[in-house]
Structure 1
Amino acid sequence: MNHWDEKFDSEEYIYGKEANLLVKEIFQKQADNNEKILLLAEGEGRNAIYLAKLGYDITTYDISQVGIHKQYQLASEACVDIDAKYGDITKPNLTSESLFNYSINIFGHVPNEGKKEMFNNLIQPLIIGGHSYFEFYSKEQLVYGTGGPKNEAMLYTI
């Protein structure tokens, strides 16, 4: 069992069932024309379910089988469909190119050696004119001590 399987292995949803505020701010309206969204490091599924309720075709990747199970459980509760897949977001060519209208990574921090491939996995799957959104903690977060990784190599600078 990996770190994330252990973290998610409880009845409660560690980060809650409500979507991230940035996701809710960007995506407020119903989807048009079967728009597709790729979510990397989606964990327990809170953002995926919110977006599926808006009518988006959702594909997620996560490295936690426990998290994926909870994504499907949450989708069932919400009566929506998602395609949750097991995969390491730091490995090359995670998914097909030119397939998604949007890609999202919310707090899916990775070590320095995986950052390039993680960003490639956010960009390569986008159709022409697609958009990518991500939210990460910066290195300055360490002084606040309020959340995010404690390892500076997993944090970001602009």
Structure 2
Amino acid sequence: MSFWDERYDRADYVFGEGPNAFLAANAGRLQGYRTALAVADGEGRNGVFLAEQGLDVLSIDASPVGLIKANELARKRGVRLTTHCLDIAGYDWPVAQFDVVAAIFIQFAAPALRAAMFAGMVQTLTPGGLLLLQGYRPEQLAHGTGGPSQVENMYTEALLREQFAGLQIISLESYDTELTEGTAHAGLSAVIDLVARKPD
């Protein structure tokens, strides 16, 4: 069993059942969009939230255990979720397929894979589509309240501006906040948020 399968193989939800606070705070931006991709969606809390907003959602993750729980959460909430279990390193990002891409704490990716994932997310957005991304900054290592232990996996504003230079940045913010997302993301955290739009 993989690391993530082992982590998700429990009755409760590691990161909670509710959506990420940043994603929920941007719900108003989702009006008028039809399709969404939830990247590395784990147990499905964010994909389910997007489906609750009326979007047709594809939730992708490498853990079959996580995606089983994602489907269970969707049924519990009365929404439909399409799931696809895959190794994201080999994902063939479809061109201009999704109106919204949500990438919430996907920092398992080392720099080379991260660059490929970021390029894929831009590629798969439709013209006018919206990217919603949240991650940890390097300062998170001092907090120790979640996330990877590798500083190179963290995000900075300069990194995100460079990697998403082809998008129109609507909002890019760095701040510390109290996270209450299950047992895995709990306590004062150094985060960075990006809201960006693909040009028409």
TM-score, length-normalised on structure 2?
Answer: 0.73
Equivalent in the alignment of 1:117: 116
Superposed CA RMSD in Å reads: 1.6
Counterparts of 2:110 and 2:30, CA distance in 1: 35
Alpha-carbon distance change, 150 to 71 in structure 1, aligned in 2, over 3 angstroms: same
Q: Provide, for residues 55-86 of structure 1, a one-character-per-residue CA deviation record: whole Å limited to 9, x for no partner.
A: 11100110111001011111111121111111
Q: Which residue of 2 aligns with 1:136?
A: 135
Deviations 1:36-70 (A, max 9, x none): 01110101011111111111110011011100101
1:105 equivalent in structure 2: 103
- 1:105 aligned counterpart, secondary structure: strand
Give 2:27's aligned residue: 27
**d(CA) in 1 for partners of 2:72, 2:91:** 29
Q: Which amino acid aligns with 1:45?
A: G
Distance in 2 between residues matched to 1:20 and 1:112, nearest whole Å? 24
- Alignment partners' CA distance in 1, 2:82 and 2:14: 21
2:67 partner amino acid:
I
**Counterparts of 1:123 and 1:98 in 2: how far apart (Å)?**
8
Q: Which runs of 4+ in 1 moved over 3 A?
A: 28-32
Q: One-letter code of the match for 1:57?
A: D
Q: Sequence identity, in percent? A: 31
Q: Which residue in the other structure is 2:35 paired with?
A: 36
Equivalenced residues, count: 156
Counterpart residue number, 1:52:
51
Q: Does 1:91 align with 2:76?
A: no
Structure 1: segments with no counterpart, 5+ residues: none
* Higher strand proportion (structure 1 or 2): 2
- Counterpart position of 2:2: 2
Q: What TM-score do the two structures reach when normalised by structure 1?
A: 0.92
2:141 alignment partner, SS class: helix
The 5 A counterparts of 1:57-72 are: 57-72=56-71
The CA distance in 2 between the partners of 1:131 and 1:30, in whole Å, is 8
